[in-house]
Amino acid sequence: MDPVMVKVAKADGNSENPAPGLASDTATLNGDKLTLTFNGALDKTSAEEEANYKVEKEDAQGT
């Protein structure tokens, strides 16, 4: 199975808001493994309060 690019946004229903701490709003889904790239480590507070992400699969046209 080829990797699939997915969009990761803050889980507030607004996909225009980037997920906090992420280096990019895209991630790679390969089978059942989702790879995210962060801007440094999330501390415990950030992980509990802000690491709540909405993941949307996009097709080849980006929709």
Q: What is the pLDDT of residues 1-54, one digit of tens each?
A: 566 666 665 556 555 555 566 666 667 777 777 777 666 655 666 655 655 555
Residue 56 phi/psi, 5° resolution? -120, 125
At residue 32, the pLDDT reads 74
At residue 45, the pLDDT reads 64
At residue 26, the pLDDT reads 66
At residue 20, the pLDDT reads 61
pTM: 0.36
The helix/strand/coil state of 35 is strand
At residue 44, the pLDDT reads 61
